[in-house]
Amino acid sequence: MARLKRRTSVGGSVCALGVVFWLAGGLVLTPALASAQLGGSSPDTAVGEVVQRILVKVNGDIVTQTELEERQIDAIRTRGSQPVTDADLVRLLRDVTPEVISTAIDELLLMQRGRELGYELTDEMFAEMVDGIREENDLNTEEEFTTALAAEGMTLPDLRQLFERQMLISQVQQVEVLSKVTLTEVEAREYYDENIEQFTEPGTVTMREIMVRVSDGPAGALADAADTAGLARAQEARDRVLAGEEFANVAIAVSDAASKANGGLIGPLDESIISEQVAAVLDELQVGDVSEPVRTAVGYQVLQLEARTRPEPRTFEEVQDMIANNVFNDRRTAEYARFLDELREEADIEWKDDTLRQAFESFDRAERIAGGAQ
């Protein structure tokens, strides 16, 4: 069965500070560590009290420390991180907690709006979902299904809570966000015209080369002699091509470049990656033309232009779906952010942990700055 949600229990070997446990299913944060990192009760507080500690109230609904820890674990797993030391774990917690608590609050707000709109997960809907899972995973008996859930660290109420959250959030997003996002063909064409460079295929060049390497050395008579000899070899190779020999055959016989194995063939290459010096030479050639020897950093090159394609914009019809997806996604993201801002402004958010509030507010500010820069 697909992994829905995993809760783990304490066990295994204790880390250096006695606050992190490693299990087959991943890492579990003890209440002591979470409390210490989030500015809560001391590690001496009774476990039962800490586990049920309320961190924030959102219009009366709560986020507990237990829920936050579960979300932190999921976030760390999603990152693929494997903290080795307590310091690693503390750093990861600092990294994930702002987004984790922000997401938890937003989900509560979305679920509350869903209930306000009259959405609910009925017994019939839940039973249909369960039947689908059982059928998909070939769980023919109630015992098999219960065992499979337990293997995922879940109970039936856990599964229902998960499905209810997903259903409410999805319905609210559909009604409050997606239904308000549109893109007409006129707008799509305007976007195409204003961003034509995004849809332009780069020009390409295919060429052949004969490269005569000239060894680097101190300036002087010997260097001049080597340069003169290299130029003479390159000119001789060019003369052979102009006299009728195939460029490829001369390249195989003369060239010092690795491309000699292919008769000097290079490309097709995106024009943007070709050096300015070589590009300037190629711009003067027609297909089939052979250049004069060109001095480069490694020696002398003789170039032949094999083929060229000019930058060409794709047609609107070719990229219409791409535009629709890109622009629609951008507008959906903006509308979703606007809607969440509206829910937050209207919400009564009562913090029970000041450090967690600061983490939430720092993430919210960073999100706003990032959104304004787009």
Helix (H), strand (E), coil (C) string for the chain: CCCCCCCCCCCCCECCCCCEEEECCEEEECHHHHHHHHCCCCCCCCHHHHHCCEEEEECCEEEEHHHHHHHHHHHHHHHCCCCCCHHHHHHHHHHHHHHHHHHHHHHHHHHHHHHHCCCCCCHHHHHHHHHHHHHHCCCCCHHHHHHHHHHCCCCHHHHHHHHHHHHHHHHHHHHHCHHHCCCCHHHHHHHHHHCHHHHEECCEEEEEEEEEECCCCCCCHHHHHHHHHHHHHHHHHHHHHHCCCCHHHHHHHHCCCHHHHHCCEEEEEEHHHCCHHHHHHHHCCCCCCECCCEECCCEEEEEEEEEEECCEECCHHHHHHHHHHHHHHHHHHHHHHHHHHHHHHHCCEEECCHHHHHHHHHHHHHHHHHHHHC
d(CA 173, CA 169): 6
Place 327 in a pLDDT band, splitting at 50, 70 and 90: very high
Query: Which residue did the predictor score with more confidence, 299 or 348?
Result: 348
Query: Which residue did the predictor score with more confidence, 20 or 331?
Result: 331
pLDDT at 235 over 80: yes
pLDDT at 77: 87
pLDDT tens digits, one per residue of 245-264:
999 999 999 999 999 999 99
pLDDT at 218: 57
pTM: 0.63
As a whole-number percent, the residues of the chain with pLDDT over 70 amount to 81
Place 217 in a pLDDT band, splitting at 50, 70 and 90: low
pLDDT at 182 over 60: yes
pLDDT at 346 over 90: yes
Place 223 in a pLDDT band, splitting at 50, 70 and 90: low
Structure tokens at 333: 């993201």
Query: Which residue did the predictor score with more confidence, 167 or 77?
Result: 167
Mean pLDDT of 326-332: 92
Structural domains of the chain, ranges and CATH numbers in brackets: 20-179+341-373 (1.10.4030.10), 203-310 (3.10.50.40)
As a whole-number percent, the residues of the chain with pLDDT over 90 amount to 60
Q: Which residues contact 306 (CB under 8 A, 6 or more apart)?
A: 206, 207, 208, 265, 267, 287
Is the distance from CB of 31 to CB of 22 less than 8 angstroms?
no
Structure tokens at 186: 């006129």
Query: Which residue did the predictor score with more confidence, 363 or 164?
Result: 164
pLDDT at 121: 94
pLDDT at 195: 92
pLDDT tens digits, one per residue of 15-70:
322 223 222 233 333 333 444 344 444 333 434 444 479 999 999 999 999 999 98
pLDDT at 127: 94
pLDDT at 214: 87
Query: Which residue did the predictor score with more confidence, 11 or 137?
Result: 137
The overall average pLDDT reported for the chain is 82
